[in-house]
A and B are shown apart, each in its own frame.
Chain A
C-alpha cells in the first residue's frame, strides 16, 4: 500500500481521533460500524469471542492468538484424560499428582510460547510461581495441623471459622504477595496483562503446592488405592481444575486491576468493575464464600457443582476486567507502519487495536508485537 491509496481516514465518534477506516477504531477499540464503544460482542483479546463468553483458554491465556487456543484446549483435554485414566486404574496417588500439575504446567507452556517475560524470565518466574509454591507449602503446613485436629475432634464451630474464613482470606493475601513484589520492584512490566500473568502464575504455584501438601498423606498411602474411582474423579476435578481456576482468576483480577491503576491514572471514566476495590471485594468475597460453602456442604458432588458455577462466574468477571483494561490501554495514540495483524492476519496500520478485527495489540504476544513493530 502506498501512502495515498490506503484506507481513508474517518473520525471516531467515541474518541474523536482520525483513524483508518475499518470495523474498529484503531485508537480506542470502539466498534465503528455498530457504533459501540464497549463492543461487548468482541472481546478485546480475542474479538471472535464475546466478552461475557465462558472460555478458559482465552481468559486465562489472553496473549494467545485465537488460532493457538485450539492447541491449548487439546492439551487441557489430554491432561484431563491422563488423570481420568490413572484414576480409573485406581492409581490415585499418581492421578492426584498429575491433576494438580495440569493447569500450572499448561500455564508455563503458555508463558514460554508467548514470551511474556522477555529478557529476564527466571527472575520473574522465580518471583511469582516459586514464591507462590513456597508460600503454599508453608501456609498449608501451618494451617493444616490445627484444621486436621479440629476435624478429628469434631469441633465444627472452630473449624468453620478456620476453614471457612481465616484460611481463604490469608491464602488469597499470600497469593498476591509475589506479584506485589514485582509491582514494587519491576516497574517496567506496566501492562495490566502483565499483572494478570504474574497473579495467575503466583496463584497456580500456591495452589499446586497447597494441593500437594493437603493430599500428601494420601500420596504416601498404597500405590493402588481402594476408594471409589468416581469420588476421585470428582475430587481431582475440584482440586486440579476448579480450585486452580478460581485462585488464578481471583488473584489475576486483583493484580490486573492494580497494574491497570498504575497504567491509567485517570480517576474518572473507568468502569467501577475494573477498579482495585471491586477486584479485591470480588476476590476475597469469592474465597470466603467458597470456604464457607465447602465446609457447609459436605457432599462432594454438590460441592463441586457449586464450585463449578462460581468458577464460571469468576472467569467471566475476569474477562470483563481484561476487556476493560485492554480498552483503557488503547487510549495512547501510536501509529506504526503497516503490518500483519497477529489475530486476523490482515495487513493493517500498527495501532492500539486492529482496525479490521479489533484485537488489542497489548494482547498480542511479545513475539507478535515485535514483528508488528518491525513491520513483518
Chain B
C-alpha cells in the first residue's frame, strides 16, 4: 500500500516525527530506519488469562451456540411446519369425486388438428393452444393454464399404461403424488377407458413448488392404446376435480377420433 505523503508518527505516543528523527521528541523512544533490518522481531508478551475472554467470559458458551441453534431450528420447524400442515389437515377444500363431468360442453371456437402418422388418430384442439412438441406418436400442447399430452402406443392394457404413466413421473420433480379419485365415464373419443385424477406438488428447475392436479385417461381400440395426460394448477374449491381447464380437456377427449 503506497502513501502519497509518508508522514511518520511515533509508535508509542503518536507524535509526528521529523523526517530524519532518530528519537521521538515527545517521549524519547528511539526510531529505527527500516523494518526489514530489524532482527529479531520483537516478541510481545502473552496477556495473562484474566485479561482476555476465556471460554466462560464470552457472551455465549460454545455448547450454547450449537445447542441454541438446534433448539431454535426445532421450534421453528414445529411452529412453521405445524402451521403449514394444519392448513393441509384443517383445509375445507371439497374434492369432487363423483359426477364431476362438466354440465355444459362448449364447442371449440376455433380448432386445430393433429394427426398421428404412426397410429392415425386425430386430436382436435383450441387453435390458441401452443404446440410444445409433436412427433409421429403424439403431441404435447400448452394450454392457457396447463398442458395436455396425447401419446399413442401399440398394444398394452389401459390399466397398466395408466399405472406406468403415473409411476414414471420423476420423483425429483413430482412430490406428494396422491390419488384424488377415479374419473367416472372416462373415455377417449368413442372408446370407454380408465381415468384417474391426482394431486401433486410440481417442483420446477428453480425449485418453485406449485400445487397441481393432473388427470390420466387411457383407452385402447384395435391394438392402439392412447394415453392422455392433462395437467393444470390445483383449484379444488372452484372446479370439478380441482382442474380449472377440466372442461376443455374433456372436450378434447370427446372430439378425439380414432384412426
Contacts and interface: CB of A to CB of B under 8 A. Distances in A.
Contacts, number: 314
Most buried by B among A7, A295, A328: A7
Given A9-B12, A109-B69, A356-B44, A342 B52 contact: yes
Given A32-B35, A149-B233, A346-B47, A154 B11 contact: no
Interface stretch (B140-148, B186-194, B219-227): B140-148
Given A9-B31, A217-B211, A227-B175, A68 B77 contact: no
A71 B63 CA distance: 7
Contact of A112 (B28, B60, B178, B212): B60
B22 to A, nearest CB: 10
Nearest to B14: A335
A155 B78 contact: no
Interface string A91-122: 11111111001100110010011010000000
A239 B69 CA distance: 18
A220 B134 CA distance: 36
Interface string A217-242: 11111110111100100010011000
Nearest to A163: B206
Interface stretch (A15-23, A178-186, A313-321): A15-23
Contacts of A7: 11, 42, 44
Contacts of A328: 1
B65 interface: yes
Interface in A1-57: 1, 3-4, 6-23, 25-30, 32-33, 35, 37
Interface residues of B, number: 87
Contacts of B53: 342, 368
11 contacts: A9-B24, A21-B41, A22-B41, A105-B76, A147-B206, A154-B140, A218-B209, A295-B205, A335-B12, A347-B44, A355-B42
Interface of A: 1, 3-4, 6-23, 25-30, 32-33, 35, 37, 68, 70-72, 74-75, 77-79, 82-83, 86, 91-98, 101-102, 105-106, 109, 112-113, 115, 144, 147-149, 151-155, 159, 163, 167, 212, 214-223, 225-228, 231, 235, 238-239, 269, 291, 294-295, 297-298, 300, 303, 327-328, 331, 333-335, 340-342, 345-349, 351, 355-356, 367-368, 371, 376
